[in-house]
């Protein structure tokens, strides 16, 4: 049985035009949803600094000791850095927002040199500075990243509105391989 073309289908099977339109609409809707999700992720989940935040300047200058990886057949030419300053609040770490905004994750460079200002809410606060470094290694046919923690340090501060404070890491762990830190879990209480 031969079907007659329906106006608007241009001689194609009935419903083909509608399916194509539906697929295009769904794809456009999905792209819009992904764009909105990316925008929400970029701003959501960060600490609310308030109307007159303290400005916490963090100076970082770190280089990974790559001689620890000489035992492998090959390594990546760069180190991949992830870092950030977190507000310890309600048993978890809440990321502080840098001002001006900048990338804090997957920075591929041999040396991490940063002079970054983070906006923090005033008051008695515990801030946590975390810096991870990863190096891709190869042994035989297998590649994998080795992640090391170079900095995991907390600072107890009494921040005043509009105040500027400068922090530098003082406890740098040199390539303690396999010692991963979850930046969203609260730091362990110091033992007295």
- Per residue in 30-49, pLDDT tens? 555 555 554 444 445 787 88
Per-residue pLDDT of the chain (192 residues; tens, 9 = 90+): 555 555 555 555 556 656 655 555 555 555 555 555 544 444 457 878 888 999 999 999 888 777 777 778 888 888 889 999 999 988 889 999 999 999 999 889 888 899 999 999 999 999 999 998 888 888 888 888 887 767 889 999 999 999 999 999 887 776 545 444 555 555 555 544
The pLDDT, as a whole number, for residue 125 is: 93
What sections of the chain are H helices per DSSP?
Answer: 16-43
The pLDDT, as a whole number, for residue 178 is: 45
Backbone angles phi, psi at 176, to 5 degrees: -80, 85
Stated pTM of the model: 0.67
Give burial (CB, 10 Å; 0-12/13-18/19+) of 55: middle
The pLDDT, as a whole number, for residue 129 is: 93
Rounded CA separation 24/98 (Å): 38
CA distances from 49 to 95, 168, 186 (A): 11, 21, 19
In the block, which residue shows the tokens 């979850």?
Answer: 182
The pLDDT, as a whole number, for residue 67 is: 75
Question: CA dihedral defined by 70, 71, 75, 81, rounded to 10 degrees?
Answer: -80
- Read off the tokens for 147: 């992640």
Rounded CA separation 86/97 (Å): 9
Closest CA to 59 of 118, 134, 126, 135: 118
Rounded CA separation 19/103 (Å): 41
Q: Are 147 and 180 in contact (CB under 8 A)?
A: yes
């Amino acid at each position: 049985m031969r079907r007659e073309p329906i106006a608007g289908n241009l001689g194609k099977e009935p419903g083909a035009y509608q399916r194509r339109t539906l697929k295009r609409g769904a794809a456009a809707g999905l792209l819009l949803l992904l764009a909105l999700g990316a925008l929400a992720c970029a701003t959501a989940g960060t600490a609310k600094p308030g109307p007159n935040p303290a400005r916490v300047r963090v100076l970082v200058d770190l280089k990974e000791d790559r001689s620890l990886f000489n035992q492998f057949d090959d390594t990546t030419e760069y180190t991949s850095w992830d870092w950030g300053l977190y507000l310890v609040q309600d048993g978890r770490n809440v990321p502080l927002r840098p001002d001006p905004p900048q990338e804090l994750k997957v920075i591929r460079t041999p040396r991490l040199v940063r002079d970054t200002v983070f906006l923090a809410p005033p008051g008695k606060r515990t801030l946590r500075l975390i810096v991870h470094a990863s190096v891709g290694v190869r042994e035989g046919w297998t590649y994998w990243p080795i992640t090391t923690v170079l900095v995991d340090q907390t600072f107890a501060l009494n921040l005043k509105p509009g105040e500027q404070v400068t922090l530098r890491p003082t406890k740098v762990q040199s390539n303690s391989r396999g010692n991963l830190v979850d930046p969203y879990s609260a730091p362990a209480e110091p033992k007295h």
